[in-house]
Amino acid sequence: MALPSYLLFAIAGYVLAAVSTVTLTGYVLWRHRDGPTERAFGAVVGAIALTTIAFSARLIAPELDTKLLWEFVGYAGLVILPAAFLVFALRFTGRHEWVSRPVLAALCVHPVFTLVALATNGDHGLFYEGVGLTQVGELSLLAWTAANAGYAFWIHLAYSYVLFLVATVLLLRFAVASNRLYRAQTAAIVVGTLVPWAVNLTVVSGVGPAYIDLTPLGFALGTTVLAVGVFRYQLLDVVPIARQRLVESLDDAVFVIDADGRIVETNPAGRASVCLRPEVDAPVGESLQSVLRDELAEKSISEETESECTVQVDGEKRHLWARTMPVTGPGTQGEAILTVTDITDRRRRERELRDVSDRLESFIEAAPVAIIAIDPTGEVTLWNSAAEEIFGWSESEVLGEFNPVIPDEKRDGHDELRERAFNGESFSKVELQRRTKDGTRVDVTLSSVPLYDADGDLIEVVAFLNDVTERKEALRGLRESERSLRDLYRITSDTDLSFEEKLNQILELGRERLGLPFAFLTRIDDDTQYIVEAVGSHDLLQTGASGPLSEAYCRKTIQRNGLLGVQDAVDEGFASDPAYERFSLGCYLGGKVVVNEELYGTLCFAGSESREYSFTESEQAFVELLVQWAGYELAQNRLEEKLRDLQEVAGELMEADSIDEVGDVAVESAEEILGLEITGIWSYDEQQEALIPISETPAARDLLGSSPRYEPGSSLTWTVFERGEKAVFEDVSTVQGRYNADTDIRAEVIVPLGDQGVIVTGSVSEQEFSDTDIGLFELFGSTITSAMLRMEREQALQETRAKLERSNEDLEQFAYVASHDLQEPLRTVSSYLQLLERRYRDDFDEDGQEFIDFAVNGAERMSEMIQALLEYSRVDTRGDPLSPTSMDEVYETAHQNLRVAIDQNNATVTADRLPTVQGDEQQLVRLLQNLLDNAIKYAGDTEPRVHISAERTDDKWAFAVEDNGIGMTAKDTERIFQVFERLHGRESYSGTGIGLAMCRKIVDRHGGDIWVESERGEGSTFHFTLHATTDD
């Protein structure tokens, strides 16, 4: 069965619409993909293309499911189309700010809802119901009418109409308000917008053919009209709203003129332009010649022209630039555009620019830095006066030539910089080296800027070159000074170096810093110069050399307060000087060395050749520092040498046998070590209450004769002694209270020696003594005071020792006599008591017998006590000299002596390996025996256990005798070492009460200590120390 003609027409329309919309979509998205308005238009056309393709496929699909699938695809384009069309209308009419992210998100809600409802329609039927197939000719059509539509369909339709209505209103309003020049574009927009409306209304109202939705064809037709706007009227090439706003925002007056020469449009600047006659308020609708001033009224609009004229406005001359441009192209009918620009300010700026240019040219010429301009070929186009002054070439020599200041060896680096500069790179303070006309190298800093013409092409590079040669030299000098100062500190602070080693390194350092071959330190004595230390190969400037001062530069150096510097000896008048003739030194820098305010010599640096440049301030400051160091070090050396000598003298003074010997050594040392030639010493005699002279130097004797005796109130010397503080007189002849009014002494220093006396030194010159001299003299006085005090104590000690020796002899004699005289009667009493007991025992009753026993025992104990006391008194007087003694042997002897007591008490006595000590063997045996006997005796009810150990502590051995006896309380630990002191009665423990006192006396004689640590019931540990042998 043949298809109806309307159906054939519908199929052809769908195909044509699909092809045209796909083509237009591809063109728009390829050609105008970068603009937001273009992208929105592409979305509109793309949605139409999708819909027409899908509906074409639906039309020819044979089955219902397939048709419904293409229906869904078609609706994907339909739901996008209203939103895309609205976004295009907003952007096309200039309302870009309305197209925000929230708005776009809101516009996406409905398409998503509609597609979801359509995809799930089989579950709820909200979009359509009862849709089936109907046969028309050979085609099966989808039976879809308004009766089949559900709520979701009508919502979609209403939503789409609302968006299309808003977009259409925007576009129509814009079309009405557009200028004539843009109305062809706007007409395409209006027609392309209204056609889909008209077609869709026929479909919805049921006027069109049944079962055929012609809406896509309407959109395709509207899109075709829009395509005409795209291709013929450049709808997307120039956006009208943008052009309109651009024209209205111009400061230039713009007039749109029709073919009849009438003004049909103008911008705000045109309505207020001074090119209009003063009486014209509204130029639109008037002829061009009637509204323009006479100077512009004859402008032709048929051809493109440009001209400048001046007009008088309120008495002021205004410069105007007028340009006429005919409008050509499709749809035009002889229209033209006239633009008028007020260039008064431009002309004023040009004049100002010329003035600035003139001033800039003057500035360039007067600038202190070289300003050079180079064109792309490398030729010089600008060369100011500073460039000529720095580099030596005149402007006429270099203009049009290749830049001559580039050294040959720097050309590669220059070419690289030039290439970078002509690529538009700027430079700032790049440090370079350039050459002058005479070949000298100069250090410069380069800054450069590229210059461009009006077309943006780089035409030349301007370079600013600042001569920093002197500054670089200063910086190099500063860096060298910093390095030299670090080296100087390293050398001077090295405590492992001697003065001679430091001096040698200092001279080497100074020689290197100045770049000179010779360096030396001199000592000047009268008219002779001595070389103390030297570095360098000069034959006459070697360590140990000497020569007349009159033939040395140093004679002039010592006459100056600062340094003597000679850059060129010949040029500075030294050619005939004896120093130049002798040493042939072309340059010299030296200063005088002062030690303790006295001239010592000079520190100098020199060279055989003259210097190219004078000594810099930093070089001179460094040499001054070396000179000061030499003076300080020499002063310190002298002071240390004197202190060492005084230390040796202190030993002599301490070994002196008499006050007179102290005085002789003191004045001799003051003269030889301290250089104090006029010195005397007095001692105080308490009995005579006077200062008695002890000794004086020969110079003092020659000047004063015999030294006087000073009594209270008779002299300054007595006053100072009585006050106890040193006194320094710069000129004693002006001081009241001096001993001799006619004395030749001027400067004088008086130092009290405590209560022992005074020492005085003087000079026949005023202000002779330095602070160092006075300090050393005062220190020396303290040493003499100590020696005199030692002598006084020594004398007192000798007297005490003599008294003690006599007392010891008396005591020993007493002890011997006492022991002998007391022992004899005791033996007599004891003998007769024993005889009486033997003969008359039977005649005594029990009490009598007991009395006899008491008497005999008392006599025996008395004898034992007298014998113990005699031994106690002889510990210090009858002992052997101390010598190395083996404590192992001492222990064995004591142990053997106590064998019976050890066996009887079943005691255990042990000892570690014991050391050798300085001691008296017999006394140490007695010491150890007493302590062991004590430990066994006071064991209590337990079997005695005693152990002896030793431990080294510094130069002594500490011994410990530990037992397990009854112990004692802490308050008794000191009491037990007293003579005849007992903690227990004789009925409990036997003994004389002298044993532990004897132990302490023995330990005291050996220079040790003894003590006990004990607790009652816990045993005791007796400790004692003895000196180790010198071999340990």
CATH of the domain at 276: 3.30.450.20
CATH of the domain at 895: 3.30.565.10
Q: Are 326 and 336 in contact (CB under 8 A)?
A: yes
pLDDT of res. 949: 94
Does residue 540 share a domain with residue 406?
no
Do both 291 and 387 map to the same domain?
Answer: no
Residue 858 lies in a domain: no
Ordered alpha helix ranges (H), 93-182: 101-107, 109-119, 121-124, 151-177
For residue 297, what are the domain limits?
250-348
CA 948 from chain centre, in angstroms, equals 64
Indicate whether 832 belongs to any domain.
Answer: no
Cβ 126 vs Cβ 152: under 8 Å: yes
Do residues 664 and 722 both lie within one domain?
yes
Q: What is the CA radius of gyration of the chain?
A: 65
The residue among 740, 738, 698, 699 whose CA lies nearest residue 718 is: 738
Strands 441-452 and 564-566: unpaired
* C-alpha closest to that of 312 among 345, 270, 275: 275
Instruction: Output the DSSP codes for 809-823.
Output: HHHHHHHHHHHHHHH
Residues 167 and 21 in one domain: yes
pLDDT in tens, 649-699: 888 888 888 888 888 888 888 888 778 888 889 899 888 889 889 888 888
Distances (CA, A) of 496 to 157, 486, 499, 502, 834: 106, 18, 10, 10, 87
Number of domains the chain contains:
6
Distance CA 516, CA 512 (A): 7
Residue 705, domain CATH: 3.30.450.40
Closest Cα partner for 865 from 975, 1022, 986?
986
In whole angstroms, what separates CA 1019 from the centre of its chain? 67
Look at residue 985 in the predicted model and tell me its pLDDT.
42
Residue 462: pLDDT over 50: yes
User: Hey, how many other C-beta atoms are within 10 angstroms of the C-beta on 835?
Assistant: 10
Half-sphere exposure of residue 533: CA atoms within 13 angstroms, side-chain side: 14
Q: Answer yes or no: do 419 and 512 share one domain.
A: no
Q: Which of these three, 640, 665, 687, is where a domain ends?
A: 640
Of the residues 300, 320, 348, the one at which a domain ends: 348
Q: Of 416, 444, 467, which residue constitutes the final position of a domain?
A: 467
Burial of 408 (0-12, 13-18, 19+ CB in 10 A): exposed
- Residues 876, 808 contacting (CB under 8 angstroms): yes
Residue 17: which pLDDT band, with cuts at 50, 70 and 90?
A: low
Shared domain check, 647 and 633: no
- The span from the CA of 808 to the CA of 744, in Å, is 58
- Shared domain for 230 and 94, answered yes or no, is yes
Higher per-residue pLDDT: 638 or 742: 638
Residue 977 lies in a domain: yes
Residue 354 is assigned to a structural domain of this protein? no
Say yes or no: 602 and 627 in one domain.
Answer: yes
Q: Which of 268, 313, 261 is nearest to 290 (CA)?
A: 261
Per-residue pLDDT of 213-267, as tens digits, reads 666 667 667 767 766 665 555 554 444 544 555 566 677 888 888 777 888 778 8
Whether residue 392 is found in the same domain as residue 312: no
Contact indicator for 380, 400 with CB cutoff of 8 Å: yes
> Percent of the chain scored above 90 by pLDDT?
12
Is 986 inside a domain boundary?
A: yes
In a domain, 628, yes or no: yes
Pairwise CA distance, residues 351 & 767, whole Å? 83
Which band of pLDDT confidence, cut at 50, 70 and 90, is reported for residue 384? confident
Shared-domain flag, residues 301 and 389: no
Q: Are 195 and 228 in contact (CB under 8 A)?
A: no
Residues 657 and 758 in one domain: yes
- The one-letter amino acid code at 486 reads R
- With tokens 């431009």, the residue in question is 346
Residue 539 domain-assigned (yes or no): yes
DSSP helix/strand/coil, 752: strand
Average pLDDT, the chain: 79
408 secondary structure, DSSP code = G
Does some domain include residue 174? yes
Give 910's pLDDT tier (boundaries 50, 70, 90): very high
Q: What phi and psi values does residue 827 have, to the nearest 5 degrees?
A: -65, -40
970 and 884 inside one domain:
yes
φ and ψ of 339, to 5 deg: -115, 135
The residue to which tokens 């070159």 are assigned: 465
pLDDT band at 544 (very low <50, low <70, confident <90, very high): very high
